[in-house]
Amino acid sequence: MIKYSKFILQRRCDMSSRNKMLGGILACVFLLAVSLWAETPLTSDSYNHFHPQWSPDGNWIVYYKSDTTNYFQIYKVPSAGGTETALTSDSCSHEYPQWSSDGNWIVYDRQDATTGKYYVYKVSSAGGIETALTSESYNYNFPQWSSDGNWIAYRKADAHFHYIYKVPSAGGAETALASDTTYACGYYSPQWSPDGNWIVYEKWEATPYYIQIYKVPSAGGAETALTSDSCHHFRPQWSQDGNWIVYQRSDATGCFQIYKVPSAGGEETALTSSYGNSNPQWSPDGNWIVYDKSWHIYKVSSAGGGAETVLTSGSYERAYPQWSPDGNWIVYHKRDATNYKQIYKVSSEVGIEETPASPLESYILKIKPTISFSCGVVINYSIKREERVSLRIYDFTGRLVKELVNKKVEPGNYTIRWDGANYNGEKVRNGCYLVRLESGKFSRTEKIVVIR
């Protein structure tokens, strides 16, 4: 590995007596930061790669990739580097793979070529025939293995509602765990507790319209709300000891922060205070949280109150970091100089501590989408200096729907209309979507409700 040193992360202006002796010249002092390890690419072809996941033994990375079939396929690559191996290859899209605890299987959602609906499938991690675990005419997404490998939890969606279900990993009857039909947009992102007794998830509440963190016994029973404030909460993840849930939460400005809450219920604790923090993951030892912010990979102490540490540098977009089982590496996808999203890894052991800038220094962008959809959504945004800006639409599970802007723009006010179509020109379903504006170290997210 090649190490290099990076200056500037913290900038201080000092009018010291020495400066006054030099004629009152304002001196800007740049503090030397610690060494930063270089990133290691694990893929490098002309295709996009998404959502990497470590195998339990740490030897492999699984992900989904658009390839020559023109569909998303499940691939794996050695974590030490090497040749990619396709685990699926048919005329269907396969997304969001997850390893079984013994490393022998991969579960994922697979889109049927005829109906266009997603179902839960599994395939051997060594390759082989795919096995369907669900078959009803609904959409099934985001499957997650239980720690003992015996169950798969997932989101199941019909024309009106989303629910949390489980199914035996060997195949069998589905069991509904959370199916409250009084809520408008339903349930997302189920995650098993380490002991297998609970499932935590996002729940969109009808009154008021906020996404909260809930849990439900994996054997079935009453739901328990873990958050209840006037903010959105996304992507809950259990700590290794099962005592805490970490997640991203929108603050008063509409930007995401990293928070944690006791899994037994209690007060929320903020772990970050800067802008645009997403996709948190616990380290195996429980001492750190890794996440993406403004195109970089960061970590922060899980105890709270510590400085954020940036693990990457440069201007390329990075997202969805995942710890290796031994805690020594972080894997993620990165849009690099190939202009495609590749799989990368970086050491978790070193980085650069940052002192958060004040809101007045950081707040250079704003976004106010109109929430209606008769003729699309008009999105207004403004910037205060020349910046490279990206404006993207995501669904509430974090899936990219469409990129509207990705270019350098001059200071000023801008308006763009989203017609409600995805990358393929297909109209999206009714439901809740996110508009995310990013530039430099700033990001802002607003919601859109599509009702036709």
Q: What is the pLDDT of residues 310-349, one digit of tens each?
A: 898 877 889 999 999 999 999 999 999 899 999 999 999 8
Q: How far is CA 348 from the centre of its chain?
A: 18
Please give the share of the chain, as a percent, with pLDDT higher than 90: 51
| Nearest of 42, 43, 62 to residue 52 by alpha carbon | 62
Q: Supply the mean pLDDT for the chain.
A: 82
Q: Which two tokens stand for residue 230?
A: 């006037």
- Prediction pTM value: 0.73
Could you tell me where in the chain the CATH 2.120.10.30 domains are found? Answer: 40-354
Report the topology of domain 364-450. Answer: Immunoglobulin-like (2.60.40)
Side chain identity at residue 120, one-letter code: V
Range of weakest confidence among 1-10, 372-381, 385-394: 1-10
Whether 377 has a pLDDT exceeding 90, the answer reads no
State yes or no: cis peptide before 208, omega within 30 of 0: yes
The answer to whether 324 and 54 are in contact (CB under 8 A) is yes
SS3 349: coil
pLDDT of residue 351: 58
| Nearest of 304, 294, 302 to residue 274 by alpha carbon | 294
Q: Assign domain 40-354 to a CATH class.
A: mainly beta
As a whole number, mean pLDDT of residues 129-154 equals: 94
Select the more confidently predicted residue: 345 or 3.
345
Could you tell me where in the chain the CATH 2.60.40.4070 domains are found? Answer: 364-450
As a whole number, mean pLDDT of residues 110-130 equals: 94
Q: What is the pLDDT of residues 267-298, one digit of tens each?
A: 999 999 877 789 999 999 999 999 998 888 99
